Amino acid sequence: MRKLALTLRVKGHHFMKAAMLHSFDKPPQCEEFSNPVAAENELIIQVRAAALKPVDKQIASGSHYAGPPTLPCVCGIDGVGHLEDGTRVYFAGSRRPYGAMAQRTVVSRNRCFPLRDDIDDATAAALINPGISAWLSLRSRAKLIPGENVLVLGATGVTGKLALRIAKLLGAGRVVAAGRNQQVLNTLHESGADATICITQDDDELRESFLSEGGSSGFHVILDYLWGHPTEVLLNSLIQNEFVAVKSETRLVQAGESAGPTVALPAALLRSCALTILGTAGIPPRDVLVDAFEQVTSRAARGELRIDVERVPLTNVENAWQRQEPGRRLVLIP
């Protein structure tokens, strides 16, 4: 009995629970994995919460543009936890093969950000990543000017809903939400949408909806989480069929591909209107990232940015991975 107890204590000291990925075509499972050991300029984090996001699934499928991870590995790109000295932090980019969906992880010191006390763990883990993404897309990439009109393609998702609110906080004049889920679309006026477009219409009706809701000045900024066919219809709606003076520029920020990885881009579109297509451009300089982090967390603390979350035990990661929760983010709790 003493030998068994000693074995269990040693095992508990060296191992932790983690969402382990062994195959790109199967969901991760909660298993034991070795505890991380910090190298120079790294920190060990006791994880308190890690959100399950589309990008986590994309990376785990091996289809993300950054390339497939080496297997086996722990899933999760970011989360909330405590350092060994008790400091509460938001962190991102664990050293492989470690990840956020575990009891512990290891992260470079410069990828940890002290977190204010007036946001709970699950909310912070769920909101910070999509909030910063939307903030940077609108402010740093699109350079949204107060009074401009904004279209959010894919507005019924978690990030799209935050983008609607952030556009309003940044001073957008008119914000239009486009998405597939009519039930969610009906609620988006609460998030700042002045109008909604259901993209399940046939192509001619959808094209007319884009033209109508854009008004005489059109959309100055388009934040696109869809790509694929809906974006093709939108782009075709921008083509001018006559020689006209250009009234304004349209900046489209490509931020996702939930409706497809490619589009057909007509040459006539680029010659007939002032369209600029931008990417989200990866990770920005640290000062830009820190400013976005502070803006998003302070506005979340004031209740200006909100997100629906559901807490799920880490032990249930396999089941959670296969669930669909439109407009809500699942947060794994170790």
Tell me how far apart the alpha carbons of residues 184 and 274 are, in angstroms, rounded to a whole number: 32
Task: Look up residue 61 and give its amino acid.
Answer: S
131 to each of 21, 267, 292, 299, 304, how far by Cα in Å? 27, 34, 9, 10, 11
What is the total residue count of the chain?
A: 334
Answer left, alpha or beta for residue 218, where phi above 0 means left and psi between -120 and 50 means alpha.
left
Predicted local distance difference test score (pLDDT) of residue 13: 61
Tell me how far apart the alpha carbons of residues 265 and 103 are, in angstroms, rounded to a whole number: 46
Predicted local distance difference test score (pLDDT) of residue 3: 41
Task: Look up residue 89 and give its amino acid.
Answer: V
Provide, for the chain, the percentages of residues in helix, strand and coil under a 3-state DSSP scheme, each rounded to the nearest 5. Answer: 35, 25, 40
Q: Which single residue is written with the structure tokens 């008119």?
A: 174
Q: What are 327's strand-pairing partners?
A: none
Q: Which single residue is written with the structure tokens 């279209």?
A: 151
| 3-state secondary structure at position 330 | strand
CATH topology of domain 2-115+308-333: Quinone Oxidoreductase; Chain A, domain 1 (3.90.180)
Tell me how far apart the alpha carbons of residues 177 and 327 are, in angstroms, rounded to a whole number: 14
Rounded (10°) angle between helices 228-238 and 203-214? 60
Q: Which single residue is written with the structure tokens 């009891």?
A: 103
Residues contacting 47, CB < 8 A, separation 6+? 79, 80, 81, 100, 101, 102, 103, 104, 105, 334
pLDDT less than 50: residues of the chain: 1-12
Closest CA to 211 of 265, 250, 184: 250
Predicted local distance difference test score (pLDDT) of residue 2: 41
Tell me how far apart the alpha carbons of residues 160 and 156 are, in angstroms, rounded to a whole number: 6
Where are the domains positioned within the chain? 2-115+308-333, 130-279
Closest CA to 95 of 39, 15, 51: 39
| 3-state secondary structure at position 173 | coil
CATH number for region 130-279: 3.40.50.720
* Most distant pair of Cα atoms in the chain: their distance: 88
Give the number of C-alpha atoms closer than 13 A to the C-alpha of residue 9, restricted to the C-beta side: 6
pTM, two decimal places? 0.90
Predicted local distance difference test score (pLDDT) of residue 11: 44
